[in-house]
Amino acid sequence: MSDQLKDTYDAVIVGGGAAGLNGALMLARSRRSVAVIDAGAPRNAPAAAVHGLLARDGTAPGELLERGRAEVRGYGGYVAAGEVICAWRDGDAFAVGLADGRAVRARRILVAAGLVDELPDIPGLARRWGRDVVHCPYCHGWEVRDAAIGVVATGPMAVHQALMFRQLSADVVLLSHDQPAPAGERAEQLAARGIRVVDGAVAAIEVAEDRIAGLRMSDGRLVARDVVAVATRMRARAGFLAGLGLHPAAHPSGMGEHIPAEPDGRTAVDGVWAAGNTTDLAAQVGAAAAAGAAAGAGINADLITEDTRRAVEAYRDPFPAGTEAHLCEQAAGAARHGLEDATRPDGPGIAAGTEHA
Ligand X SMILES: Cc1cc2nc3c(=O)[nH]c(=O)nc-3n(C[C@H](O)[C@H](O)[C@H](O)COP(=O)(O)OP(=O)(O)OC[C@H]3O[C@@H](n4cnc5c(N)ncnc54)[C@H](O)[C@@H]3O)c2cc1C
Give the residue with the Cβ less far from ligand X, 136 or 342.
136
- Shortest reach from residue 57's CB to ligand X, in Å: 8
Give the residue with the Cβ less far from ligand X, 65 or 223.
65
Say how many C-beta atoms besides its own lie within 10 A of residue 2's C-beta. 15
Q: Quick check: 292 and 275 in contact, CB under 8 A?
A: yes
Give the residue with the Cβ less far from ligand X, 191 or 249.
249
Beta strands in 218-280 (DSSP E): 222-224, 227-230, 233-236, 249-250, 256-258, 272-274
Distance between CA atoms of 72 and 26, rounded to whole angstroms?
Answer: 9
Distance between CA atoms of 128 and 135, rounded to whole angstroms?
Answer: 12
- Shortest reach from residue 144's CB to ligand X, in Å: 12
- Shortest reach from residue 187's CB to ligand X, in Å: 30
- Shortest reach from residue 90's CB to ligand X, in Å: 18
| Distance of alpha carbon 82 from the chain centroid | 15
C-alpha pair distances (Å), 103 with each of 87, 223, 243: 9, 53, 14
Give the residue with the Cβ less far from ligand X, 57 or 317.
57
Give the residue with the Cβ less far from ligand X, 282 or 352.
282
Binding site for ligand X (CB under 6 A): 14-20, 37-44, 46-47, 50-53, 83-84, 112-114, 117, 130, 139, 237, 240, 276-277, 283-286, 288
- Shortest reach from residue 308's CB to ligand X, in Å: 31
